[in-house]
Structure 1
Amino acid sequence: MPAAGAVADPPQPTASALPSPSGDFPALDDATAARLDRTVQDVLKKTGVPGAIVGISAPGKGEYTRAFGVADKTTGQPMASDFFSRIGSETKTFTVTAVLQLAQKGEVGLDNPIGTYVKGVPNGDKVTLRELAGMRSGLLSYTATQPFYKALTTDPKRHYAPQELLDYAFHAPKPVIFAPNTQFNYSNTNLILLGLVVEKVSGQPLSAYIRDQILRPAKMDHTSFPDDAAFPAPHAQGYTQQTASGKTEDATDWNPSWGWAAGAMISDLHDLRIWAKTLATGVFPDGTRMVSPEMQKQRLDTPPTSIPGAGYGLGIFDVQGWIGHNGSLPGYQSLTMYLPEQQATMVVLLNTDVPYGPQQEEPSTVFGQALTKVLTPEHVYNLPAAVQKDMTPPPTP
């Protein structure tokens, strides 16, 4: 078994000599790479995360690309930087982008009620698409219901239709937990509804729309929206404790259909580096607009959440200046962020979602915080677990 911290790709130590618009962002030279190596190795040891892929870059400062630890705890296969990974809630950024594209063409209205497009939604005559995208709908997340959690952990390879997911929330004793636009509450129900809007208005399956209108123009050839449990190789095994027994299990082949528009997509480091900047700027790599400047401005209007330093716009976080999203589903976590003033990109991919410590922190947050303490001490990424809670474990006996 190789030592944790096995290098996948070397840094570019000469990049610091190049012109740089990235302010005081450090050159990703050998000395910085060594600090980052030690940082990631320390977090791996502290959290017990089996393996991690880390990619950092900024104009004129070079690139840092590493794979650490193991992809398979049984065989000891090392992680590699070209592995595919399930990206969980980063899927939300694609679904909301699709809605924004339809809105700028006048095919949907962000301030139209969801009931215009989807029938049977509690408060459907009041909750708007904008409130759904901004996590301010007041609709209960289906993943916060015990019946859903029991169903998922009992049969994790089951396929779910979108309406089945909505039914868990809508049939709960309290499907509406607050009036629209009065609070922030992270709810996967919101994204299932937005996915249905995209399908109804575009006439395409959501996966096809995202492929045609987002992934292909962005040249993200390694990113996909599976309609089943398909998982391209190579990939790491993913480990979770969100199980019926509460013990750690291999969730690699679990069916992600339960996440659908909120969490089913797959990508890799290469593509997520592209997506970090594309999402934050609204511009495809070839310079054409993914969404209009006005629509991007609305997307990046990030009212504060209950956590200081963390705001949430339309399917996008702003955490201490870092813009993007994290992702988590059984077995995998991801983090894809962009710091505009530094033009810096940070991507982290992990093969576990097992929370860390008494605060039950997301492992991706622990990595993001540690890395940004080294790179951008004035912009330290920190997203407490309370802000984003995708799943509700069974009650303690």
Structure 2
Amino acid sequence: MFKEIVSQAVPFIDHWLQFRYARLEMPGFVVAISIDGKVEFLKAYGYADAEKGEPMTTDHVFRIASHSKTFAATAIMQLAEERLLHIDEPVAKYVPWLRDHKDHRMEKVTIRQLMSHSAGMIRDGKDANFWQLTNSFHDLADFKKALMSCDLVFDTNKQMKYSNFGYALLGCVVEEVYGMPFSSYVQAKILQPLGLSHTTSEVNDDMHSKLVVGYTRRGREKKRQAIEKHIDTRQMAAATGFCSTAADLCKYFEAHFVGSKKLLNDESKKEMQRTQWRVKNTHIGEEYGLGFQIESVLDRKVYGHGGAFPGQRTKTICDSNEKLIIVVLTNCIDGEASYMARGLYTVLDHFHGSAYRADRETIDQLRKFEGIYTSLWGDLAIVESGRNLIGVDPNTWFPFGRDQEIQVLELAGDNRLRIANANGYYSEGEYAEFDFDFNGNVISVDYAGYNMLPESEYSHDFAKTKVTT
């Protein structure tokens, strides 16, 4: 169980994330890990506003973008449980103006098809430049006009075709069926019952000071531009408008675990989390449920959602067997939130696998060698792995990945390790000698003849280096 090893994993995770942040050109990010309803790790790195030097905190609010679809789908399933709608009936039954669409196939589009992105509907309309902030997001009148001008791209039930317009239309369904604005419904039926006090379905003035500044990609001059914070997604809120914190998202996704007795009954949750369609051409074999993305990490099925908003990238993954939730929120448009979340899962898995291969005394002996060490040629993270230590490259989101070159290090004395297994081009069979201070902190490492220092201490002006002969 991940719950049993998280305390062992946290020191490495924190050091590794600090190390990664120092070497990445990202403004900032927040990471949360929750297991069995308890937030075990919650930390912020970098800046919420780089220009002002405002440090990122765990209380900062992010635009979580397509995470919004999970809230919209939850609202629909709640209405289905109340028998106010049926997800296999046509949307036009509940949204009368849709019956006037010039493409008569639209009359047969069902609520389930919108939820699973199998309606064949256009993604963002014929003019999607609201995503580039040259236009405003659609209000209801503009959305109706835009949707009514767009035929279906494919026949229904042919393939998974992602559609923000489809989820904006689901927001209309909620409003028509329940007779109140989508935002009011979500506040009353989802946010308040769970105590999500830092989550809203749309940006508002009250939270403006708590919002992170989002940033563009780096341009030709290698600089990012800050993006205006107060962007109202209006009728697109059900698809992309929500704002939240990492801690609130942990609480929200915990409610979606089967057996939590929150938000929905278990049958509704299982229906949302099961595969409805496979997603074409994704390298990680993604699938889609009803409002949830489904993917595999280390051959295990996880679900959740990602989000991409102008200036921000976010990702949540959930493992229902482990009751594990990982949330990553970044404030740049190219933030690697998905890789980070998946990588954190593999790190936890490594510690889970190594926890049962050694006794406490052996682990304590190994732990004093742990750290991230640096030389001119690179970095090496030394991590306890059961009865041995391993050396991995910390400059990746998957340091323990199956395709990574991992060195096995064995105890060979109080201050010495033997490189027991390594790539044939490396230093297998040689030794790493550690120099410790009086407090047991590593001062330096002679790693097969190469001097390495703890990464936080490494500094060298190579322009002034003189090599004598």
TM class, shorter-length: 0.7 to 0.9
- Contact kept in structure 1, 2:257 and 2:323, CA below 8 Å: no
TM-score, scaled relative to structure 2: 0.66
Change (3 A) 1:258 1:202: closer
Matched, 1:354 2:300: no
**Aligned AA for 1:63?**
E
Query: What's the secondary structure of 1:225's corresponding residue?
Result: coil
Query: What's the secondary structure of 1:281's corresponding residue?
Result: coil
Matched, 1:215 2:174: no
Deviations 1:58-90 (A, max 9, x none): 249971111111111112211111112211111
- Contact kept in structure 2, 1:339 and 1:345, CA below 8 Å: yes
- 1:129 corresponds to which of 111, 115, 127: 111
1:142 corresponding residue in structure 2: 124
Query: What's the secondary structure of 1:75's corresponding residue?
Result: coil
Q: CA deviation at 1:107?
A: 1.0
Q: CA deviation at 1:98?
A: 0.7
- 1:375 corresponds to which of 340, 348, 357: 348
Q: Distance in 2 between matches of 1:250 and 1:258?
A: 21
Query: What's the secondary structure of 1:231's corresponding residue?
Result: helix
Change (3 A) 1:168 1:44: farther
- 1:329 corresponds to which of 305, 309, 312: 309
Moved over 6 A (4+): none
Q: Distance in 1 between matches of 2:218 and 2:73?
A: 27
**Aligned AA for 2:323?**
Q
Residues 1-397 of structure 1 aligned to structure 2 (within 5 Å): 23-24=1-2, 27-29=5-7, 31-41=8-18, 43-44=20-21, 48-59=25-36, 63-118=40-95, 119=98, 120-121=100-101, 122=103, 123-142=105-124, 145=126, 147-149=127-129, 152-155=132-135, 158=136, 160-172=138-150, 175-226=151-202, 231-241=207-217, 248-257=225-234, 259-281=236-258, 283=260, 287=261, 289-303=262-276, 304-306=278-280, 307=282, 308-320=284-296, 321-354=301-334, 363-376=336-349
Q: Distance in 2 between matches of 1:242 and 1:148?
A: 22
Deviations 1:137-181 (A, max 9, x none): 1000126x4x221685324xx463134235445435xx3221111
1:385 corresponding residue in structure 2: none
Runs of 5+ unmatched residues, structure 2: 354-396, 399-469
Q: Which sits farther off after the overlay, 162-171 or 333-342?
A: 162-171
Query: What's the secondary structure of 2:106's corresponding residue?
Result: coil
Q: Distance in 2 between matches of 1:260 and 1:47?
A: 31
- Contact kept in structure 2, 1:240 and 1:251, CA below 8 Å: no
Q: Distance in 2 between matches of 1:242 and 1:261?
A: 30
Deviations 1:17-40 (A, max 9, x none): xxxxxx2566222x5223212443
Q: Distance in 1 between matches of 2:140 and 2:37?
A: 45
Q: CA deviation at 1:126?
A: 1.7
Taking only the aligned residue pairs, the percentage that are identical comes to 27
Change (3 A) 1:370 1:48: farther
Q: Which has the larger radius of gyration?
A: 2
Change (3 A) 1:342 1:161: same
Q: Distance in 1 between matches of 2:80 and 2:344?
A: 36
User: Higher relative contact order by CA 8 Å / sep ≥ 6: 1 or 2?
Assistant: 1
**Aligned AA for 1:135?**
H
Runs of 5+ unmatched residues, structure 1: 1-22, 356-362, 383-397
**Aligned AA for 2:263?**
M
Change (3 A) 1:46 1:257: farther
Q: Distance in 2 between matches of 1:42 and 1:186?
A: 36
Q: CA deviation at 1:199?
A: 0.1
Q: Distance in 2 between matches of 1:331 and 1:162?
A: 25
**Aligned AA for 2:79?**
L
Q: Distance in 1 between matches of 2:39 and 2:66?
A: 28
| Cα root mean square deviation, aligned | 3.0
